[in-house]
Amino acid sequence: MKSGYTDLIFEMSNTLCQAVLEREPELAQRVHELDGEVNKILRRLGFFTVSLMLAQLSEQVTLEAKKKGLAIHRAKRIKYSSLFGVVEILSPYLRNKNTSSGSRPVKEQLGIEHGDISIAVQRAMSDFGAEESFGQAAKRFQEHYGWTMDRAKVRREAEKTALLAQEYVEKRLDATGCDYLQPLVTRPGIAQILVELDGSHVRTGKKVVLEKVEFTPKRRLPKCQRQIDWREVKVGLARPLQELKNRTYVAQMGKYPEVVRHLVSAAIVQGMSVRTQVIAVADGGNGLREALQQQFPRMTFILDRPHLKQHLYAGAEAIGLTESARHSWVSDKLQLIDLGLVNLALWQLGNYQGQGIKRIVNLSQYLQRFSDAVSYEKFISLGFPIGSGEVESAHRYIPQKRLKIPGATWHPDTINPMLALRIIRANDWWQDFWTQQAATCALVG
């Protein structure tokens, strides 16, 4: 809508102010309730204004249809959810008896059908549904907007929006399709970019029919049981090495190559070119380093130090060390590794014979595999981080805050769309996403 309503708003505000002051003589004693009471009035004003506008628009498109030789054959009132409440609109069906042609102008011209909701309502429900349980989101919607929204509808609309969010994120992170990005070869790029990638597990469930087919007593449907599983969700980030707050996040339930593809796009958004040095910090997950190396050719890989420390403690426990002896053993090994003397630490592990030998062999192989990624003193001197704490923190407020609330079990197909909603929030793309949705609706209408 256009913004040139200042004079009208001032006039209406003045009229409303005088009316309230005349009707509420004791308002001075309740001044701290003033804004809340005005908000209630404005909600009602908004409801009646939207109702009148939709009624007149319905009448307008109906008259345009009549000019084409159509006559009202039947008319029904449909319900449309606005931010101020559910509005009823007259939606006639018009017909030309001679040509047998018909039209539903409210549906065809205004793009409104029975049960539809406005972009603002969809945005509010998706906003609340992306942050907390759908039941709690319905309660918050009622608290904020003053009318009741069913939990099931909040869920449907949030999940529908999440699918749109997934498409949006895919397009936004499609490095080859972003025409605002210069080719990597010609763009100047920045000197150094940090990328981090880590995973955590989310509880998922799918209904499967019992092997021995039984039927429900009333509807005679096959009985199902929920098959529970835990799926890994991977979260990554990219940022210029020297800029702590300028991050682009990615999150996906998928294999490493798929997630790293998004991570490469995130790095390009942050300014990566073929000349950029990429510093990657991650744990030693199988296939993780290889996937990063394949898609980030100019990469320095750093093994997450806390992750290595956990492996060392597991080795110390396996050989039977306890308390101070265990801490001392781990500290000695870490000190050698930090100083770049990883070969000496490997020699010590290789000469061990005794209890827990299998675990020590595995630890030695693990350290050998990442021997070029653990020179922590050197990395610190270069200004590189040696832990993936940033992306581990991102796990808490991107997937876990919503997908791991108590009792939550997600169908695997809903994980990535909901993650896309969370990513749009984390990357500050929320306004742009809804601007695009509004533009799409305008074209459809």
* Chain segment 301-358, per-residue pLDDT in tens: 999 999 999 999 999 999 999 889 999 999 999 999 999 899 999 999 999 898 989 9
Mean pLDDT, all residues of the chain: 90
The pLDDT-based confidence of 180 (bands split at 50, 70, 90) is very low
DSSP state of 317: H
Give pLDDT, residue 185: 62
Computed on alpha carbons and rounded to an integer, the radius of gyration of the chain in Å comes to 30
- What phi-psi label fits residue 110: left (phi over 0), alpha (psi between -120 and 50 degrees) or beta? alpha
Other C-beta atoms lying within 10 Å of the C-beta of residue 60: 13
Percent of the chain with pLDDT over 90: 74
The pLDDT-based confidence of 274 (bands split at 50, 70, 90) is confident
The kind and range of the H/E element at 368 are helix 357-369
Give pLDDT, residue 441: 76
Rounded distance between C-alpha atoms, residue 323 and residue 317, angstroms: 10
DSSP state of 102: E
Of residues 181 and 189, more confidently modeled: 189
Of residues 385 and 213, more confidently modeled: 385
Give pLDDT, residue 5: 85
Which candidate, 69, 73, 75, places its Cα nearest to that of 98? 69
The kind and range of the H/E element at 231 are strand 224-240
Rounded distance between C-alpha atoms, residue 410 and residue 9, angstroms: 47
Q: Does position 184 have pLDDT exceeding 80, yes or no?
A: no
26: which 2 tokens?
Answer: 């004791």
Percent of the chain with pLDDT over 70: 93
For residues 210-216, average pLDDT? 67
Which candidate, 127, 43, 40, places its Cα nearest to that of 85? 43
184: which 2 tokens?
Answer: 């990597």
Which candidate, 134, 44, 135, 108, places its Cα nearest to that of 82? 44
325: which 2 tokens?
Answer: 């002896």
Rounded distance between C-alpha atoms, residue 102 and residue 59, angstroms: 17
The pLDDT-based confidence of 177 (bands split at 50, 70, 90) is very low
Residue given tokens 């021997």 in the structure block? 371
State the pairing for strand pair 277-282/299-303. Answer: parallel
383: which 2 tokens?
Answer: 């200004």
Of residues 444 and 157, more confidently modeled: 157
Number of H helices, E strands in the chain: 17, 8
**39-49 burial: b if 16+ Cβ within 10 Å, else e:** eeeebeeebee
Give pLDDT, residue 116: 94
Rounded distance between C-alpha atoms, residue 403 and residue 142, angstroms: 23
174: which 2 tokens?
Answer: 């499609």
Phi, psi of 246 (to 5 degrees): -95, 80
Q: Does position 15 have pLDDT exceeding 70, yes or no?
A: yes
Give pLDDT, residue 444: 56
